[in-house]
Amino acid sequence: MKRILIVEDERNFARFMELELMHQGYAVTVVGSGQEGLETATRDAWDAILLDAMLPGMHGFEVCRRIREAGLATPVIILTARYSVTDRVSGLDSGADDYLSKPFAIEELLARIRAVMRRSKRGTAEPQEAVTYRDLRLDPVTRTVSKAGVPLDLTKREYELLLVLMNHRDRVLSRDMLLDLVWGYDCEVETNVVDVYVRYLRNKIDDPAQRSYIQTVRGIGYVIRS
């Protein structure tokens, strides 16, 4: 039986999700604060975590960030009433796998849970070999990136975006394709989030005196050219 942790301080809403998920055959645990959510998430094994953004004691984005710092790859879906691109980027940048705005239909939540679980399962496949381009080296085994031998501090999403671009070298990837490959086709993220993350990556990997590693193809998307 798949186990889901709900971290939500609105009791009625949490109870509604709990009953719906139990009806679908999931084993569900509910906690109501950020600190308790972090402790429960890191203490036990979960197949997915539903994490409210606005929590007492500790913000949901901070809970997610600490879950990732603990080395856990458990799929996390952020639930929030906020709609702005900045908020969505903040949630995904904290390490979340998906972002769902309230109010939502329970059918959509169930579909997103299935989607993040599928993506998590695909991620357990055998590791690929290290990928290199110019002086960049990306190691999927350790999920690390270095430039000229110096480690780079990339977020989970920045790493995944760079990996996709390097694995599809010389192929122009549209923003929609990148959303599908990095965030998942049914993730509630707009295409301009891709532009935001490309900018983040460029700030960390580019040298102002050299050509950018990631080329923009105007009106289409991005590519790394060999």
Question: Domains in the chain, please, with CATH?
Answer: 3-123 (3.40.50.2300), 131-224 (1.10.10.10)
Residues 6 or more apart whose CB falls under 8 angstroms from that of 143 comprise 159
What pLDDT band is residue 127 in, cutting at 50, 70 and 90? very low
Q: Give the Cα separation of 157 and 89 in Å (integer).
A: 10
Model confidence, pTM: 0.60
Residue 84 pLDDT: 61
Residue 187 pLDDT: 53
Measured in Å, how far apart are the chain's first and last C-alpha atoms? Answer: 46
> Does residue 57 carry a pLDDT above 50?
yes
Q: Give the Cα separation of 95 and 58 in Å (integer).
A: 16
Report, as an integer, the average pLDDT of 170-177: 88
Identify the H or E element spanning 95.
none
Residue 189 pLDDT: 59
Q: By the 8 A CB rule, do 56 and 31 touch?
A: no
Q: Give the Cα separation of 188 and 191 in Å (integer).
A: 10
Q: How far is CA 11 from CA 8, 14, 32, 52, 99, in A?
A: 7, 5, 8, 12, 20
> Does residue 149 carry a pLDDT above 60?
yes
Residue 125 pLDDT: 42
Report, as an integer, the average pLDDT of 24-52: 94
Average pLDDT, the chain: 86
**Which one-letter amino acid corresponds to residue 75?**
P
Distance, C-alpha 68 to centroid of its chain? 10
> Does residue 186 carry a pLDDT above 70?
no
What pLDDT band is residue 142 in, cutting at 50, 70 and 90? confident
> Does residue 69 carry a pLDDT above 90?
no
Token reading at 55: 């929590």
Identify the H or E element spanning 22.
helix 11-23
Q: Which residue has the higher pLDDT, 91 or 207?
A: 207
